């Protein structure tokens, strides 16, 4: 394997680990987010944080309704 392929595989494996740990800390499915990271790579941790922020925002908006 050439160095570029090794780097890409390393980035994807690293993002799987990071996304899994973040998901576990946020109370979400660790395996779901690890597999998501396997497909979209380093975008998964950012997407996980975006989903968490949207969830908090949705709960805040829903709490204001009577």
Domain positions in the chain are 3-64
Which of 50, 3, 52 lies closest to 25, judged by CA?
Answer: 52
Render pLDDT for 32-52 as a digit per residue (tens, 0 to 9): 999 999 999 999 999 999 998
Which of 59, 38, 37 lies closest to 48, judged by CA?
Answer: 37
pTM: 0.78
Whether pLDDT at 65 is above 70 = no
């Amino acid at each position: 394997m050439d160095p570029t392929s090794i780097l890409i595989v390393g980035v994807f494996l690293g993002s799987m680990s990071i996304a899994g740990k973040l998901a576990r800390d946020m109370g979400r499915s660790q395996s779901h987010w690890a597999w998501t990271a396997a497909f979209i790579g380093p975008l998964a941790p950012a997407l996980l944080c975006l989903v968490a922020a949207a969830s908090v925002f949705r709960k805040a908006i829903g709490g204001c309704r009577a």
